[in-house]
Structure 1
Amino acid sequence: MTDPRESADGARPGDGPAPAPGGRAAARAAARRAGRRSSRRGRRKPVSRLRRVLRTTAICTAVTVVVAAGAGAWFYEHLNGNIHSVSLSDGANGDVGGKEKADAFGRTPINILVIGSDGRNNATDCKLGGGCGSATSTSGRNADVEMVVHVSADRSNATVMSIPRDTITTVPACKNPDTGAATPGYRGMINSALAYGPACQVATVHQLTGIPIDHFVMLDFSGVVKMSDAVGGVSVCVSDDVYDTYSHLKLAKGRHTLKGEAALEFVRSRHGFGDGSDLGRTYAQHTFLSAMIRKFKSAGTLTNPAAVYRLADAATKALTVDTGLGSVNRLIGLANDLDKVPSKRLIFTTMQTGPDPTDPNRVVVGKGATELFATIADDQPLTTADGAKTKPSGAATSAAPSPTVPAAQITVRVQNGTGIGGRATAIAAALTAKGFAPGTSAGNAPAPAASTTLTYGPSQKDQAQTVARALGLPAAHLKQGAVAGLTLVIGADWRTGSAFPGGTAAATPADTKAAVSNAHAQTADQGSSCAQVSHFKTVSVGGVPMTPSQAYAVSTKKKDSAP
């Protein structure tokens, strides 16, 4: 601000007369005035440049935000568009998989049926699956991989139970809404139910195990290839040289990173591992999935945007899911729930089996399986906080566990005391579907019954407990009689359904030690374990039966599946 005492030329009163124009004094005054003007211009110039920079930055930032938002929206819509979803109630009369029950805090477990389809319904799957030689080879599909994935209500632990595809069970009445194919129900291999749609496969597994199934996830041959490539390969170990001449898997002893078709050959191999049956294949699949889970959880996989995009894009393209999982948000929610479970508390098991009395090439539900089913249905953990397998819990820990009798050895007389037609038939069918003896029968009770009772003969309490656990029947409904045999009278307190109302929580806790016995249990953190190559002559080369290791040794011209 200008001093009011200053004159127009900048001199102050009392400074004396102004210097005459010209001379050194005038030159100095002119220089001072020019300096002040130059200084003022110099101070304004950086401010103007800063404003231009800020304006440019703001415009670029705004454009970046708009582009990023547009890309995010495109990415979200793109992934949603990839997902193929199917209703679990299509053609199957409502909730075919049952309903989960909440715990004391209102939390519910998650049970998902993972299905690996052998369908050859497109050119890619035909090539990967070994060709489509005829019209019948593309007319249907089987669930050659079936795993029940259970995540506990508190998300602290999880169980993955494989069901061998060779299991014989009762397939319920179903209709495929896509093809119109229908069945009134039959007894056959469990994997055949997929021909009548994913909902039928879910209904069949639920009927066999009594485990509520909330969701399903299905992928085909090409889906396995896409997923293994998306994660950059999966590291697995084989105990010996192996060549499965059927799945074409050929690996030298040791550790390998499997991608693409090599990964598919590994998870499809049933002649290379174990005893050469489908049981051996489930064991190898657990090794593969454990390694994939460790890869997901490893540093870098889920923090790399490019890797996340490849994985998300591959997953949504590869999977068919139920409508309850049919959006990116729901799949992300499921992934978050699974990610909460530590690897040491995620246990892989295989349903215990026994030989089918009518066919040596097939299996039925075996000893311990009903206990395994019950632990999952009752949300009981099979690992402790440190990752060790659990010991018997609940009532089973206070005394020696009662002997477990295989369901296949138990025959039940089911009698209807409700006055509602068909109740005994429905429960008898549910029992045989769970693997109980085919001699299980249905009929009417001598008189109406207000409550349900299961009467057992002398020394048959263990059999009665197996039946009670399969049906969710509380121990208070069991009583000993004087006559041999088991008689289940359905009372007025059980008017609908194949599981006793509210009975699961009240039923005696399953023996978790029996549940993992002979179930080939292993946790996902066991990274050093190798898939055990079969020592049986399960393959052949030139018509000569050989072990997979012998086949590897003589097939020198066959290229290995992975280095």
Structure 2
Amino acid sequence: MTGHDKNGDEDRRSGRRSRALKAAGLTLAGALVLGIAAAGWAYWHLDNNIKSVDIDNALGDDRPAKAVVTPSASASATASPLPTEALNILVLGSDSRSGRANRELGGGDSSGARSDTAMVVHIDAGRTRATVVSIPRDTLVTRPSCPLPSGGSTAVAYGSMFNSAYSVGGPVCAVKTVESVTGVRMDHYIEIDFSGFAKLVNALGGVTVTTGQDIDDDMSHLHLAAGTHRLDGKRALALARTRHGIGDGSDLGRIGLQQKLVKALLEQIASTDLLTDPARLYRVADAVTAGLTTDTGLDSLEELMSLGRSLKGLSSDNVRTVMMPVVTAPSDHNRVVAREPAASELWESLR
């Protein structure tokens, strides 16, 4: 073979290598572009899942005072410090009737909704401890006048069931009623519907709950023997809604089950390393945001992520669950009223 032939072979091999490298580069660039586009679409999708209500604007200044926040020296030295001040969040579980998924899970007909579960979540300064206070939905309260989205306002209602506030005036009236009853400013509002809750539990792979007694409730379609159970989303939701199969059939027995479920969910989230499983992380984020309504201070993925990061030091062991102290209402043995002075003392501790 001549030197000329050798040079030709080398040129051809060099050309093939060059084309192969170009093809690989184009493939890598294409994959990178697709990856960035997919990530961008996922962020946009999750961000647009979230529904919000401008509660601050609707209620104006007729509210309990905000806690005064004094930034620490270490925080001021950090470029973007995570918030560490105390926080009060009203968390509602609603039996929304909107959408087929909610109706199939027990939401009822095609219109209307009630606050099926109400919890005031108080996060201590430093965000390493929290108190979750459940408010029985059958509590009789004075429901304040609430602004309506269509204009005008509702009338003050005396001796009204607590969960009627959401029915007549939505999230704005729910927040105003809670603030009126407790004297505590709600910094944020979070609402999750039936479908969103069930999807969250399923995305986490289920939740483990231990019950101390048999549950036999035809209304919630839940039948469990006493003991430890791994529940999927549908059965976890049924547990949260169970009231007729335990105790005296009142809302008070159900609150105990809901508080068990809250602790179990926190433990499940803590034990699931979502950062090493992007697919599951996306499913969890999609489940959370799809059934979520917040105030405008939490209505973006960035704001929710900031809240989540600020709670990284909060473990389920440092979450205390209690119920607002109540007694049977003198006017109706099927209803309750706040037990004083215990109820006022509890709310005072959260201000």
**Superposition TM-score tier, normalisation by shorter sequence:** 0.7 to 0.9
Q: Is the 8 A contact 1:147 1:162 kept in 2?
A: yes
Q: Does 1:172 align with 2:144?
A: yes
Distance in 2 (alpha carbons) for counterparts of 1:338 and 1:244: 36
Q: What RMSD, in angstroms, separates the aligned Cα atoms of the two structures? A: 2.6
Q: Please state if 1:290 is matched with 2:290.
A: no
Q: Is the 8 A contact 1:88 1:95 kept in 2?
A: no
Structure-2 change in CA distance of 1:77 and 1:104 (3 Å): closer
Q: What does residue range 67-146 of structure 1 map to in structure 2 within 5 Å?
A: 67-89=34-56, 91-94=58-61, 96=63, 98-103=65-70, 105=72, 107-129=84-106, 131-132=108-109, 140-146=112-118
Distance 1:181 1:220 in 2: 27
Deviation at 1:312? 1.4
Superposed CA deviations along residues 378-436 of structure 1, whole A, max 9, x for unmatched, are xxxxxxxxxxxxxxxxxxxxxxxxxxxxxxxxxxxxxxxxxxxxxxxxxxxxxxxxxxx
Q: How do 1:346-365 and structure 2 match up within 5 A?
A: 346-365=319-338
Letter in 1 for 2:146: C
Instruction: Give the whole-Å Cα distance in 2 for the aligned partners of 1:98 and 1:38.
Output: 89
Per-residue Cα deviation, 1:113-152 (whole angstroms, up to 9, x for no partner): 11112343444434432743xxxxx664322211111222
In 2, the alpha carbon distance for the partners of 1:149 and 1:173 equals: 24
Shift of 1:308: 1.3
Contact 2:197 2:288 in 1 (8 A): no
After superposition, what is the alpha-carbon deviation per residue over 1:480-525, rounded to whole angstroms, capped at 9, x for unaligned? xxxxxxxxxxxxxxxxxxxxxxxxxxxxxxxxxxxxxxxxxxxxxx
How much has 1:374 moved relative to structure 2?
Answer: 2.2
Between the aligned partners of 1:128 and 1:120, the Cα distance in structure 2 is 10
Q: Which residue of 2 aligns with 1:370?
A: 344
Aligned to 2:179: 206
Please state how far the C-alpha of 1:343 moved relative to its aligned partner.
Answer: 2.3
Superposed counterparts of 1:450-465, under 5 Å: none
Larger RCO: 1 or 2 (CA < 8 Å, sep 6+): 2
Confirm or deny: 8 A CA contact 2:127 2:310 kept in the other structure.
yes
Q: Matches of 1:79 and 1:95 in 2, distance apart?
A: 33
TM-score normalised by length of structure 1: 0.55
In 2, the alpha carbon distance for the partners of 1:104 and 1:91 equals 28
**Which of 31, 41, 46 is matched with 1:64 structurally?**
31
Q: Tell me the number of residue pairs that the alignment of Structure 1 and Structure 2 aligns.
A: 338
Quick one: distance in 1 between partners of 2:103 and 2:264? 27
Residue 198 of structure 1: CA displacement?
0.5
Taking a change above 3 Å as real, the CA distance of residues 275 and 310 of structure 1, as seen in their structure-2 partners, is same
Q: Which deviations, in whole Å up to 9, do the C-alpha atoms of 1:341-399 show, x marking residues without a partner?
A: 1222122221122222332222222253323212221xxxxxxxxxxxxxxxxxxxxxx
Q: 1:68 to 1:126 in 2, by over 3 A?
A: closer
Q: 2:157 aligns with which of 164, 186, 189?
A: 186
2: distance between equivalents of 1:139 and 1:61?
A: 50
* 2:78 matched residue in structure 1: none
Note the C-alpha offset of 1:331. Answer: 1.4
Counterpart-to-counterpart distance in 2, 1:331 and 1:97: 24
Structure 2: unaligned runs, 5 residues or longer: 76-83
1:242-257 correspondence runs (5 A): 242-257=215-230
Instruction: Give, in whole Å, the separation in 2 of the partners of 1:156 and 1:264.
Output: 28
C-alpha deviation, 1:235, in angstroms: 1.4
SS of the aligned residue for 2:238 comes to helix
Show structure 1 runs of 5+ residues with no match.
1-30, 133-137, 378-563
AA at the equivalent of 2:163: N
* Larger helix proportion of the pair: 2
- Kept in 2: contact 1:117–1:220 (CA 8 A): yes
Aligned-pair distance for 1:218?
A: 1.0
Aligned-residue offset at 1:55: 2.2
